[in-house]
Amino acid sequence: MSMLHSFYCWGHVGVVLLSTIFFAAAGISNWKILALLWALIPVLNTFLFARVPIAPLIEEGEDGLSFRGLLKNKMFWLFAVLMICAGACEQSVSQWASVFAEQGLGVSKTLGDLTGPMLFAVMMGISRLIYGKYGERINLKKFMTYSVLLCIGSYLLISLSPWPVLGLVGCGLCGLSVGIMWPGTFSMAAAGVRGGGTAMFALLALAGDLGCSGGPTFVGLISDAAGGNLKVGILAALVFPVILLVTVRLNQRTV
């Protein structure tokens, strides 16, 4: 699961790199052309997904949870909170990394994109590769706990460091810390909610997407209220990894 999710990170790196090259060559004013070019990928995926074999998530003879039964399952809601916070922890920094690099280091948008979101994506991909390679030897719940603690530290480094370079290091550490959160929650949910099936993973993905949109929106609103101070917004977003840590610890006691 972690290895598979690492390809999201490499796709992220490719999008940032190729988009930056396009803007440098054609100018930001031609962003609509770039949007049309990137739209070709989901069009292609439409045909590729039609050929992907889908294995059943519930073994033959095993009773799966109904949609209503899933919503009544307390463990499902625990994992849903984990997914919301995982998405928020990831995107609260990732979506603002370019602006942070531009403002903090005083660099151009081109360098801001390369040193901000691309660094974040590379570090996140490395984290997922490490767990994908050595996951059988690593306790997932402990790894999640240590990752959340590193995430909290990275948020503090980004928001409180007086030196912009250290703030950028914090962005990289944040990418490293959040790598396991999404695939790790999926793996724990598969073990903790028997018979959840496709509906469970679809709802958990929805919860993660809500966090991905809500996290950076929260940072933007707080930053705007603080006079455009992005550090204040990221410091306020510390609430997401803190909630995530509490939820992970609660999960360790209940599963």
Confidence at 105, pLDDT banded by 50, 70, 90: low
Say yes or no to pLDDT of 62 above 60.
no
Instruction: Kindly state the average pLDDT of the residues 33-52.
Output: 92
One-letter amino acid for residue 21 of the chain: I
User: What is the tally of structural domains in the chain?
Assistant: 1
Q: What is the DSSP letter of 237?
A: T
Say yes or no to pLDDT of 84 above 90.
yes
Percent of the chain with pLDDT over 70: 92
Lowest mean pLDDT among 81-85, 168-172, 215-219, 243-247: 168-172
Confidence at 218, pLDDT banded by 50, 70, 90: very high
28 occurs within a structural domain = yes
Residue 25 φ/ψ region, left for φ over 0, alpha for ψ in the -120 to 50 degree band, beta for the rest: alpha
Confidence at 173, pLDDT banded by 50, 70, 90: very high
Instruction: Kindly state the average pLDDT of the residues 36-64.
Output: 79
Q: In this predicted model, what pLDDT tens digit does every residue of 15-24 receive, in sequence order? A: 988 998 998 8
In the numeric block, the tokens 């990928």 are attached to: 41
Q: What is the CATH number of the domain that holds 43?
A: 1.20.1250.20
DSSP assignment string, 81-104: HHHHHHHHHHHHHHTTHHHHHHHH
37 occurs within a structural domain = yes
* Domain range for 133: 2-52+66-254
Confidence at 59, pLDDT banded by 50, 70, 90: low
99 occurs within a structural domain = yes
- Alpha-carbon Rg of the chain, whole angstroms? 19
Instruction: Kindly state the average pLDDT of the residues 12-41.
Output: 91
57 occurs within a structural domain = no
The pLDDT score that the predictor gives to residue 177 is 93
59 occurs within a structural domain = no
61 occurs within a structural domain = no
Q: In this predicted model, what pLDDT tens digit does every residue of 119-137 receive, in sequence order? A: 889 999 999 998 888 888 8
156 occurs within a structural domain = yes
18 occurs within a structural domain = yes
Say yes or no to pLDDT of 40 above 90.
yes
